[in-house]
Structure 1
Amino acid sequence: MGLKNCPQCGKLFLDNPVGLCPECVAQEERDEARVGEYLREVKTKASIDEIHEATGVKHKVILRMIRSGRVVSDFAIEYPCESCGAPISEGRVCQNCSKNILDQLKTEDWKKTDNEPVKKYTGSVYTKNLFRKN
């Protein structure tokens, strides 16, 4: 563990598993409580923009909470797909992007197996002189 700059406020702190300084960790916990309280009040679908407007919590912080699993609930929270930006309520990419990624991986796998040369046994081994003493 070494010294590190906090990615949120820029202060120097002793590195920890959270990756934030103690002040920002405390602030994020307060933000998480506000977001949770808002979601319990609303009880319906909410976008990140709506959560931001109601609570004042930054978009980036809300996304980090959702992706780290700290804001997991029965509520449908919509956030953008990391690939195309379409609204999703779970995972990191939408179903279309997920399908495209899988198709690309399958294509690459086929290319990889098609380009491998077929190894044939063409030589022979002679052991006659191998164990012979001079």
Structure 2
Amino acid sequence: MASISLNKARTIIRKALAKGREMELKPLSVVVLDAGGHVLAFEREDGAAPGRFDIARGKAYGAVMLGMAGEAQMARAEQQHYFMTAMNGLFGGAVVPVPGGVLVQDKRGEVIGAVGVTGDTSDNDAIAAVAGIEAANLTGIT
């Protein structure tokens, strides 16, 4: 089974943060999870609130555990609130169903993890996540 190496996880974080600075976003926090939802790497920029780890992780965790990125989770929550409420309960309240949780695919199209970015608007968070993922020669699914 393919996975995200620590080197690629660090590249994702570095390039996501660089994209945030390029776009003049608020301070970002970025987490990279493997396909089992385990943290591979995390960074929080100076000035980012300490609670941002849990938000970033929740965005990525929901994506990888449900097999749907943040945009799809948010749409599902709007259409079937009871479903996402049940899923969040099932996962101990750890799911944050909004953009910024991005699935990571390898070259074969296999989901190998997820990235969660938080700190600015959810849509901008997703843009930064995808920039980091693409810099690691992987594909991001928003």
TM-score for both structures, normalised by structure 2: 0.28
TM-score for both structures, normalised by structure 1: 0.29
> Greater CA radius of gyration, 1 or 2?
1
Q: Which has the higher contact order (CA 8 A, sep 6+)?
A: 2
